[in-house]
Structure 1
Amino acid sequence: MKKSLISLKVPAIAAILFLSFINISCSSDDNSNIETETPTTESDKKFFIAATQDGATYFLTADDLESGSTTIKGTGIEVVNSFTHLVSGTNNAITALAYRQGNPGIGISFKLDDSHNLTKLSNEFQLTSGYNTVGIFQNSIVAGRTATLSSGNQGAAFYFVDQTSGVVSSKEFESTQQLGNGTVTPTFAGIVDRGNGEWLSAYTKEAENVDSVWVASFDANFNLKRVYKDNRISYSTGRWRSARYSQMANDDKGNTYVFSGSYETSTTKPAGALRINKDAASFDNSYYFNIEEKSGGYRFRKVWHAGGDYFLLEFYNDIEYGNMTTATQYAIVNAANKTFQWIKTGFPSKENITETGWPIAYNGKVYFPVTTTSASPTVYVIDPSTATAKAGLVIEAGGVLGLGVFEY
């Protein structure tokens, strides 16, 4: 069963959540990516909700996201902590993580018990070196960052949350300097499982590569297998303050789409996407998607796989933007066909959105939690084929960190 990562909680008020890098104190806000699943029946699933209120997080389940209402009062599991990421794995495990800039991060994992009731897979755990990118590789939820390692050298520290046991292990990777030509320690953005024993991560060398994109492929032992480089787009990373968001995701066929929102104002490359075909050793030279042209000049910050060839993109509200600019308008692209549609019908206007959470894609629909100036957090149900939406489940809470789904 295929899943991909959900993307980060985004408060859209004053400035407004995969690898690479996300923020809790700068923003309660990356793809990176939406969880996608193919269900078997309508009675073998429970949806997972992480709602927030006054600095606490309430984890609960619901049978339906398309109608009705639910509340955090007297339901679910309360954790007196705030989180920034919600990551759904491939083994019916869901992990909430909190990015705390350079400080140690924290996390907690959940599953369903034999009676299909929500329970903790693990107690709260600590990521000592912190993290700023998250994803899924094989049977682990992965979080990591560039860091000073136990040897005193610069490198990358990664944590692995086993989706069966909840046990957390760590590995250190010291050869990141080779990706920066020995002069720059790169910043990773996104973790994408290729399904062949390798995983991909885009990386930036900051000012060195504003007109190029770089993606590294590693094996399970952190050996560098190859580097994908192309000059048709800018680097593949969404940004907000110190946060970094994954802009890579697989389609249902195992091809990896590498998007670039062209964040840097100095880049000459329009926001767009390239493709690494399944098991290929280089970018597909025949594929290029100019998304900025389709959008009318807008650039995007976050990317989530929305099932099939569809992807959900979060755009800045203004064509001219800076690091604190709000991004609360959304579009659906069909990456294979290179089509673009703004989500307008049935969805709140960008001016009224104050906060969004991690969405999920399930059974051909996208479920997206949105809080507005005039309503409680509401799950909006998006049809990617038409880019239309409708209001679904209302959640009585202060906000919603994100959604997930368990199947049994």
Structure 2
Amino acid sequence: MKTISKLPLLLAALVLSFSSCESSDDAPKGDVSGDTSKTKYIVTVTTGAQGVADYLLTAGDISTGSITTQGNGLEQDGTYRYYLSTQNKFFSFLYGQGNPGAVTTYGLTANGDLTKISNFQAETVQVFAPVNKDILMVKVPRSGASISYMYKVDAEKSILTGTVSQDTRLLIGNKNPDLAERAHFTWATQVGDKVFMPYMKINGIAPDTFGSRHADSTWVAVYSYPDLKLEKVIKDDRTSYLGAYFTNGLFQDEKGDAYGFSGAIATSNNVVTSTKPSAVVKINKGTTEFDKSYFFNVQEKSGGYKISSTSYISNGKFLLLMYGTPGTNAGAVRLAVADVYNQTFKWVTGMPAVLSNATTRYNITTEDGNSAVLGVNTPDGNWIYTINGTSGAATQGMKVEGGQITAIQKLKY
């Protein structure tokens, strides 16, 4: 790994869509923390129409009523956007599909209006995560060149502060430099004062670029921060890789422990080859090894279902989006709540019978930290739901009209 002397233009982000913003004067629900600031919720919506950009809608109360993209919100430049909120700013990443994209930063005015703060060109990246007061963005090669570029951006100033490179073949242990096989980072997570980056091993050659010869192992690269020097790679053979392409699978809790979620979805020529269960593994605070005494077999507890994506609620409780066809990577989806401390699993109740998709990768928690707030899209309409982390009960809130919900975030003003 080496430091790059000339900092290239950075980022962009991938698939899905989001955009447009409506201002609401409704006051948020009661604040239990004693904080006198107010909250505005940002709801991103895609119409799915060719050539139509995504929208950013805003509301002060998402527990009731409805909101629409018709005549409301901020229309973004371009579709295929991903989102991140950190340092009380909302970042929108345009995926350039191989071309340069853009990073747009939004904030709230004193009146609670969403306003654009900055916008700059960037290279396409597949990973972006908050680290301290930065955003770490990673361009991950899937074929051809094997160098992954890691960009540090000051989240308060929206400026690039450093770039580091990593040859992804070295994480595989390739002795043959011509071998196309490489590591592909699924995400990055700050754990203590380090950055943990889970990855999958992929073939790197079409037509089976994301196919893997290593279906039943987990790897995490550990980097120092802010210099981003590779310190070690940790491995586990009880399940497959953590997360998925463009999907976070590693989270740190309030105690400082880290929990990794594996869907056991590795494939070869589009056939699932993982033989290990979809499960949760643990890295104890202050260590850089997997805790061999901990293993939460979610596939067994769920009756054969697999984890698709995960978001953290609090106090060891996670919201899971599960594949609806047991033992496969496809089918209808269901939501569940898992408690990693007690290794308990329960299906979410009170949801529509059929879900098209849900925003489990772009959620927020309630002010008391006990519930997840997410967007739920169904054939009959799209709503914001609140899911209690203790009971697993879902409560329907605001209806969103004019497109599918792709993310929900919040800012203070």
TM-score grouping bracket, smaller chain normalisation = 0.7 to 0.9
> Which residue number in structure 2 is paired with residue 367 of structure 1?
373
Q: Is the 8 A contact 1:310 1:334 kept in 2?
A: yes
1:301 aligns with 2:303: no
Asked if residue 141 in structure 1 is aligned to residue 135 in structure 2, the reply is yes
Shift of 1:327: 5.2
The 3-state SS of whatever aligns with 2:293 is coil
**Counterpart check, 1:210 vs 2:215:** yes
Are 1:76 and 2:77 counterparts? no
Matched, 1:187 2:187: no
Report the RMSD for the aligned CA atoms in angstroms: 2.6
Q: Could you say what secondary structure the match of 1:227 adopts?
A: strand
The residue number in structure 1 matching 2:238 is: 232
**CA separation in 2, counterparts of 1:158 and 1:169?**
11
Structure exhibiting the larger radius of gyration computed from Cα positions: 2
Map 1:114-125 → 2, pairs under 5 A:
114-123=110-119, 125=120
Question: 8 Å contact 1:146–1:185 — kept in the other structure?
Answer: no
Which residue, 141, 148, 154 being the options, matches 1:156?
148
Supply the AA of the counterpart residue of 2:98: G
Question: Offset at 1:87?
Answer: 1.1
Residues in 1 aligned to 2:296 and 2:37: alpha-carbon distance in whole angstroms: 39
| Residue number in structure 1 paired with 2:46 | 52
Letter in 2 for 1:140: D
Out of 266, 276, 280, the position equivalent to 2:287 is 280
Counterpart residue identity of residue 406, structure 1: L
Q: Post-superposition shift, 1:180?
A: 1.1
Gaps of 5+ in 1: 1-20, 30-36
Counterpart residue identity of residue 38, structure 2: D
Amino acid aligned to 1:154: S
| Aligned residue in 2 for 1:251 | 253
Which residue, out of 289, 297, 307, partners 2:296?
A: 289
Report sequence identity in percent: 28
Q: Distance in 2 between matches of 1:39 and 1:400?
A: 28
CA contact (8 A) 2:42 2:409 kept: yes
Distance 1:359 1:285 in 2: 30
Q: 1:103 to 1:40 in 2, by over 3 A?
A: farther
What is the CA deviation profile of residues 219-251 of structure 1, one whole-angstrom value per residue up to 9, with x for unaligned ones? 22220112211111111132xxxx442211111
Q: Is the 8 A contact 1:248 1:257 kept in 2?
A: yes
Counterpart Cα distance in 1 of 2:103 and 2:288:
35
Asked if residue 321 in structure 1 is aligned to residue 328 in structure 2, the reply is: yes
Conservation of the 8 A alpha-carbon contact between 2:14 and 2:82: no
Provide the rounded CA distance (Å) in 2 between the counterparts of 1:307 and 1:327. 27
- Residue deviations 1:276-324, cap 9 Å, x none? 11221211122111111001011111111122211111111212435xx
Question: Equivalent residues in 2 for 1:375-394 (5 A)?
Answer: 375=381, 377-394=382-399
SS of match in other structure, 2:170: helix
User: Which residue of structure 1 aligns with residue 22 of structure 2?
Assistant: none
Task: Give the total of aligned pairs.
Answer: 363
1:270 correspondence with 2:262: no
Structure 1's 286 and 392: CA in aligned 2 closer, same or farther, altered over 3 A? same
Which residue of structure 2 aligns with residue 111 of structure 1? 107
Q: Which amino acid aligns with 1:346?
A: G
Task: Tell me the distance in 2 between the aligned counterparts of 1:315 and 1:335.
Answer: 16
1:60 counterpart SS class: strand
Q: Distance in 2 between matches of 1:160 and 1:47?
A: 27
Q: Cα 1:66–1:74, aligned 2, differ >3 Å: closer, same or farther? A: same
Does 2:177 align with 1:172? no
Match of 1:102 in 2: 98
Q: Does 1:399 align with 2:393?
A: no
SS in 2 for 1:246: coil
2:24 is matched with none
1:66 to 60, 63, 68: 63
Query: SS at the partner of 2:187?
Result: strand
Using the TM superposition, give the Cα deviation of residue 115 of structure 1 relative to its aligned residue in structure 2, in angstroms. 3.6
Judge which range, 40-49 or 212-221, deviates more.
40-49
CA shift for structure 1 position 342: 0.8
Shift of 1:361: 1.8
Structure 1 position 397, deviation (Å): 2.3
Structure 2 residue matching 1:177: 3-state secondary structure: coil
SS of 1:346's equivalent?
Answer: coil
Q: Quick one: distance in 1 between partners of 2:69 and 2:32? A: 28
TM-score, normalised on structure 1? 0.82
Partner of 2:206: none
